[in-house]
Structure 1
Amino acid sequence: MCSVKIRRDIGFYVYFRRELALARSAFGATTAPVLFMFMGVSLIPLALSSDTASQSSIAPGFVWIMVLLASLMSIERIFTFDYDDGSLEQMLISPQLLVQPIFGKVAAHWVLTGLPMSLSSPMMALVLSLPAEGYLPMMLSIIIGSAYLSLVGSVCASLTVSLGRGGFLLPITLIPLYMPIIIFGSATIDFAVNSMDWSFPLAVMGFLLCLAIAICPIAVAAILRSTLLF
């Protein structure tokens, strides 16, 4: 029983480490989404008046728009490189559970994009003149929300990986699915800034993340098998 468990788990670690190694070789493409988000947030004070109240009022929604755009910049790469070099087909015909490698690739995508955005959120909050009460809710909402974006994005990326215009189709399919997490993510920050209870919208985000963890890897496995093997 122990040996079976090890064989099933190895797919996650192998693909997780592989994605991190590939990211080191393409450092510029990996850091581009995070730099894009930070630059976009940094430009907001230049476009608005010096009134901190006006900046704080639009900050929650704008931060999440930038998180969405940064996620869209990188989500296509989850399966594209593997499809181009043929390793995706090898993963599909492997006797291991397909869900494990998919989890590994999605987790690596979150570590490379969502985690840096989360860790840099206090600096962005400072640039946007957010009150100190909004720092922690902003970080927590981006941690949960970016993980959701990676999971749901992997489903749409699996649908478009074999298409030549996947980059055009991805935003069309992803934005409607991203809307709930953007709404509740913005509400979490807004509630905290206005001294309201922000635990409810954050709890809803956690519920959506749990649903994505349960559904998305299975959906990706089914989509990849049906589109690439049949």
Structure 2
Amino acid sequence: MWALLIRDLRLAVRAGGGFGLGLAFFLLVAVLVPLGVGPEGDVLGRIAPGILWVGALLACLLSLDRIFALDFEDGSLDLLATAPIPLEGVVAVKALAHWLVTGVPLTLAAPVLGVLLNLPAAGYGWLVLSLALGTPALSVIGAFGAALVVGVKRGGLLLSLLVLPLYVPTLIFGAEAVSRGVAGQAAEVPLLLMTGITLGAAALLPFAAAAAIRINLR
């Protein structure tokens, strides 16, 4: 399992499909939104939590199709499906690798980009905490969606249509937690709900994704 994780991390860094692409897209969102909305600090401060969370969500979405597609194309996925390692464990490791090369950099970069969107100082800690708790759910749900479209040519659009509705609760609770933190209100409830989504997805979706991969490989 450890060797598989190291392999996926090396492939992701070499190919640039997660780390560089996600950060570049996140930066573009933070730069372009003030140009479109206007330079008013109050307006940017109000919409900053939602914009940052939408940018992080879409940045995670960019590299989802690479989770299983490359392994399917070179035959590695067939070997992994017949290996002694449970396929559910393979899915969990690949979701973890995706989070490490996509979710973690986005979480660390979010406070810097929050400056561009005039995010109030009270929201930075809540932004980092919400992304740290919510982005693992994005990776696990994305791995499930990627498993559903394994072997489908040009399945990126289909993957987006499948995954985006499942991302909505995490987006709502993440943005709400930051907004409440900025307003000085209690943000524990949306954070707990988002944590529940993350834990539930991590517990259930690897089994569903493994079943989908087995069906697609038949």
Alignment of 1:68 with 2:57, yes or no, is: yes
RMSD: 1.3
1:223 to 198, 201, 212: 212
Please give the alpha-carbon distance, in whole angstroms, between the structure 1 residues aligned to 2:173 and 2:165.
14
2:160 counterpart letter in structure 1:
P
Of all paired residues, the percent bearing the same amino acid is 36
2:40 to 47, 51, 54: 51
**Which residue of structure 2 lines up, in the alignment, with residue 102 of structure 1?**
91
Alignment deviations for residues 112-164 of structure 1 (CA, whole Å, 9 cap, x no partner): 00000000111011111111110011011111211101000111100101111
Unmatched runs of 5 consecutive residues or more in structure 1: 1-10
Question: How many angstroms does 1:216 deviate by?
Answer: 1.1
Alignment of 1:144 with 2:133, yes or no, is: yes
1:121 counterpart letter in structure 2:
A
Question: How many angstroms does 1:170 deviate by?
Answer: 0.8
| TM superposition score normalised by structure 2 | 0.96
Rg comparison, structure with higher value:
1
2:166 to 147, 170, 177: 177
Unmatched runs of 5 consecutive residues or more in structure 2: none
1:69 counterpart letter in structure 2:
L
**Which residue of structure 1 lines up, in the alignment, with residue 24 of structure 2?**
35
**Which residue of structure 1 lines up, in the alignment, with residue 202 of structure 2?**
213
- 1:20 and 1:51, CA in 2 relative to 1: closer, same or farther beyond 3 A? same
Alignment deviations for residues 91-118 of structure 1 (CA, whole Å, 9 cap, x no partner): 0011222222222111111010000000
Describe the SS at the equivalent of 1:188.
helix
Q: Give aligned pairs, total.
A: 218
- 1:30 and 1:50, CA in 2 relative to 1: closer, same or farther beyond 3 A? closer
1:112 to 101, 107, 118: 101
| TM superposition score normalised by structure 1 | 0.91
